[in-house]
A and B are shown apart, each in its own frame.
Chain A
Amino acid sequence: MSAYLSLFRIRFLHNLQYRTAALAGLATQYAWGFMRLLALRAFYAENPAAFPLTFAQAADYVWLQQAFLALYTMWDYDPDIIESVRGGHIAYDLVRPVDMYARWFATTMARRVARAALRCAPILLVAFVLPDPMRLHLPASMLAFALYVLSTMLSVGVASALTTLVYIAHFQLLNFSGLRLMVAAVVDMLSGFTIPLPFYPQALQNVLNLLPFASMHDLPLRLYSGHIAGMAAVQGVALQAFWLAMLLLVGHWWMGRQLQRVIVQGG
């Protein structure tokens, strides 16, 4: 456990050093949040009735999405892990007494959480003091907030598990940047990054809500503002937990099989 904590600490310090990069990244996120919201506002002005959320809920969605982007994004991959698979150093890593899957999963989570921890405060701060209705609002209720927090933790788990699966897939091929790109693009579409899931046609939503991708990103953002509440909320969280468990199991099993191959073939 302390090993994993120190992984977190290293990541945090590492990120802290690059102040200009941090500022630039912040600026980018503000811009993205703003522009997305402005676009949604234009559509809202067009026809408020057709808007599936209240505008306030949409604002919450967009700002929380930006603030905690690092937790959910599928565009960020640890180059060290990828290199260790491609370059064949994986054999050396096996010498250390840590469960490989757990190590990758923990590193991935630490990376996401550390980045999000650094980024979220400034974004949340600004988002809170913006003028209505573009601002971030307080959560719909204490219960909503509690569910949101729980759901976010599960989300990070799901996202990390998915990312780890992608890493494991690298055992199969030599040059995999194409796969990562495809995965990121597809997941973006299916998880609510491109536009929030509520904007999709209802029929499609029904399917998407069952997939792990919605669990990864869309759900907590809607729990916060109370867009999903009551029984639906509890069901959503339960589904997340289910997906997390599934992905962990599959990942662990698949990793085991790949490592077997490596040991047998010598990398």
Chain B
Amino acid sequence: MRLYLSYFSMHLKSQMQYKGNFVMLLLGQFLVAFASIIGIVFLFARFHQVDGFTFSEVLLCYAAILMAFTLAETFGRGFDRFPVIISNGEFDRALVRPRSLVFQVLVSQIDLTRLGRLLQALLVFAWALPRSGVAWTPDKVLTLALMVFCGAALFFALFVVYAALSFFTLEGLEFMNILTDGGREFGSYPFSIYGKEVLRFVTWVIPLALVQYYPLLYLTGRSANVLHMLTPVLSLLFLLPAWALWRVGLRHYKSTGS
């Protein structure tokens, strides 16, 4: 929408005011992502493969999750910092504006420095795609795209859950980081390496495996089951309980105040 673009340019203008810091933050984000990948590089230098997955296959997995998370974070950051929005009264201000609340939360923060990580993900993709041994037919490309975009939607849903919970309490919400930051960090490796129990959890409870592990099986040719290609779409169902929780939280907020 036009209004979104207006907000976008506002944020851009505002962040560009501190050009020096902007660049440093961009670099910083890049370095943070770099730190994760250094870990993978060094580990694979010693071990060459893990749980049957090769280095470049793991890199594909890593880059897809990183991209998904970064997309969710860049555009959905408003929800990620929702506790701040509530506690400084910004949300009350949003309630007095004749626009959808979700929209206002989304536009409250568009963090362009996170794109530093996106750059890293792209670089990793550039390196890993040709080396991964994957035959890039249209269905494989689609799989990868689904991994990234449905993954982004899933992370975004987790942010919404986080925001919804902060309607009830502003304390103790950090455990959600296990799912969001944890999802990204531990999702750098195929979830199967962590054992059966973990895999089951991320398949049935928080469907992270649906956007990472199963499509990866299809992508790398370990599975020819088309269903595996489509599991990311299933994960979109997670948006429903997330949205429901938001509505419940909003009602609670309006009846208890801040």
B29 at the interface (CB under 8 A from A): yes
| Residue in B46, B171, B185 whose beta carbon sits within 8 Å of that of A21 in the complex | B171
Determine the chain A residues whose CB is within 8 A of the CB of B22 once the complex forms.
178
Contact of B38 among A32, A39, A52, A189 (CB under 8 A): A189
Contacts of A47 in B (CB 8 A): 46-48
B34: Cβ under 8 A from any A Cβ: yes
B175 touches A27 (CB 8 A): yes
Of B21, B113, B182, B194, the residue contacting A42 (CB under 8 A) is B194
Q: Once the chains bind, are A199 and B42 in contact (CB under 8 Å)? A: yes
Contact with A along B44-60 (1 / 0, CB 8 A): 01111111000000000
B182 pairs with A186, CB closer than 8 A: no
- By beta carbon, the residue of chain A nearest B29 is A181
A142-162: CB near B (< 8 Å → 1, else 0) gives 000000000000000000000
In the assembled complex, the CB of B17 is this many whole angstroms from the nearest CB of chain A, namely: 9
Pair count A-B, CB < 8 A: 126
Q: Is the contact region of chain B dominated by helix, strand, or loop, or is it mixed?
A: helix
Q: Determine whether B98 belongs to the interface, using a CB cutoff of 8 Å to chain A.
A: no
- The 8 A CB mask of A190-203 against B (1 = contact, 0 = none) is 00011100011100
Q: Is B238 positioned at the interface, with any CB of A under 8 Å from its CB?
A: no
Chain B residue at minimal CB-CB distance from A204: B42
- Contact partner of B31 (CB less than 8 A), chosen from A38, A39, A51, A185, is A185
By the criterion CB–CB under 8 Å, are B24 and A178 in contact?
yes
Q: Is the interface of A mostly helix, strand, loop or mixed?
A: helix
Give Cα A188 to B48, complex, Å.
24
- Please measure, in the bound complex, the distance between the C-alpha atom of A18 and the C-alpha atom of B29, giving whole angstroms: 30
Q: Could you say which interface size class chain B belongs to?
A: 35 or more
Given contacts A42-B193, A43-B50, contact A182 B31 (CB under 8 A): yes
Residues of chain B within 8 A of A194, CB atoms compared = 35-36, 38-39
Give, as a whole number of angstroms, the nearest-CB distance from A49 to chain B: 10
Given contacts A32-B182, A194-B39, contact A39 B21 (CB under 8 A): no
B25 adjacent to A177 (CB under 8 Å):
yes
Q: Known contacts A42-B193, A178-B28, A189-B35: does B21 contact A18 (CB below 8 Å)?
A: no
What residue in chain A is nearest B174 (Cβ atoms)?
A: A24
**Complex Cα spacing A21 to B170, Å:** 9
Interface-central residue, A19, A188, A193, by most chain B CB under 10 Å = A188
Which of B20, B23, B24, B51 is the most central at the interface, judged by chain A CB atoms within 10 Å of its CB?
A: B24
Task: Pick out which of these stretches binds chain B: A90-98, A168-176, A227-235.
Answer: A168-176
Count chain A CB atoms within 10 A of each CB in B26, B27, B171, B182 and give the residue with the most. B171
Whether a CB of chain B sits under 8 angstroms from the CB of A102 is no
B39 touches A195 (CB 8 A): yes
Given the interface pairs A177-B21, A195-B39, the reply to whether A39 lies near B186 with Cβ below 8 Å is yes
Q: Pick the residue among A18, A35, A38, A46 that contacts B171 (CB under 8 A).
A: A18
Could you tell me the distance in whole angstroms from the C-beta of B237 to the nearest C-beta in chain A?
A: 24
Given contacts A28-B177, A179-B24, 9 further A-B contacts (CB under 8 A): A20-B169, A24-B175, A32-B178, A178-B22, A178-B23, A178-B24, A181-B28, A181-B29, A184-B28
Can you give 16 contacting A-B residue pairs, CB < 8 Å? Answer: A18-B172, A20-B172, A21-B171, A31-B178, A42-B189, A42-B193, A43-B43, A51-B46, A178-B21, A178-B26, A178-B27, A182-B31, A185-B31, A185-B35, A194-B35, A195-B42
